[in-house]
Amino acid sequence: MFAGKIAIVTGSTSGIGLAIAEALAAKGATVVLNSFSDTEKDHALAAGIAARYGVEAAYIRADMAKPAECRALVELAARRFGRADILVNNAGIQFVAPVEEFPVERWDAIIAINLTSAFHTIAAAVPHMRKAGFGRIVNIASAHGLRASPNKSAYVAAKHGLVGLTKTVALELAGRGVTCNAVCPGFVLTPLVETQIIDRMAETGLDRETTIRDVILQKQPSKQFASLEEIAAATLFLASPEAAQVTGTTLSVDGGWTAQ
């Protein structure tokens, strides 16, 4: 489905980003993996994907907290592979605290990585997409891009901002073969959520199972985590040729959370 296409996935050494990169490669895309580190393990991840799926894959280090590095990621990928067809803005971090105690440095990091990085990668990718007359931008937002929860001021602000950015970019590129959409996952069991489970268990004194059901998944009516494969499948649909007229929208994969 994606043979001949180049896909850049930010924050793709773990969790949702890695699952999306794997799924794109499995359907024939050349994939660019990314994170802020530069270890043998990072490069081995890309080599493993290339070997497993018979595609080209590269790891490019870039810190999504740094505007110049966000833009350089896209430019390096486009130079190496000659195009930038699919951009998945996935890199994200979380921090939980009441607004009056929220550390300024955590606020700045969350806004930079979860929101501003997407502005920079999109700005760098759009000229390539316009020139090719084809592009698919998928921003991994969250149910928190559509609804709020207490103690997540920076994350909720960044994800609402990302949904707004998605709609604006969609309008700017409508009719040019380039779409921009957001996937809004509910809770998915990844390292980002594992930290929250451990913190909430410590706070409440509840066991793991009860904490997951009654605290973490309190707002998710299905009482089930969304799976990595389900988030990847939603992303691949938005990146597919069949989604040409789907633009400026959000696709919720949240067990019913935002139906409430």
Task: Show contacts with ligand NAD in window 23-52 (CB under 6 A).
Answer: 34-36
Distance of CA 188 to the CA centre of its chain: 12
Residue window 194-233: x/- pattern of binding to ligand NAD, with contact defined by CB under 6 A: ----------------------------------------
**Interface with ligand NAD, residue 9, by CB under 6 A:** no
Residue number with CB closer to ligand NAD (78 or 91): 91
User: What gap in Å lies between CA 107 and CA 97, rounded to an integer?
Assistant: 10
Give 11 or 248: the residue with its C-beta nearer to ligand NAD: 11
Is 116 a binding residue for ligand NAD by CB under 6 A? The answer is no
Go through 95-108 and write b for each residue having 16 or more CB atoms within 10 A of its CB, e for each that does not.
bbeeeeebeeebbe
For ligand NAD, give the closer residue by CB, 14 or 210.
14
CB of 62 to ligand NAD, least distance (A): 7
155 catalytically annotated = yes
CB of 90 to ligand NAD, least distance (A): 5
**Which one is catalytic: 2, 53, 134, 155?**
155
Residue with tokens 């597919």: 240
149 binding ligand NAD? (CB under 6 A)? no
CA dist 125 and 135 (Å) reads 9
Decide if residue 154 touches ligand NAD (CB under 6 A). Answer: no
85-114: contacts with ligand NAD (CB under 6 A): 90-93, 113-114
Q: For ligand NAD, which is the closer residue by CB, 188 or 239?
A: 188
Query: How far is CA 128 from its chain centroid?
Result: 20
* Identity of the residue, 32 or 134, whose beta carbon is nearer to ligand NAD in the bound complex: 32
Please, what is the minimum distance in Å from the beta carbon of residue 21 to ligand NAD?
A: 10
| Residues catalogued as catalytic | 155
Interacting residues with ligand NAD (CB under 6 A): 11-17, 34-36, 63-65, 90-93, 113-114, 140, 142, 185, 187-188, 190-193
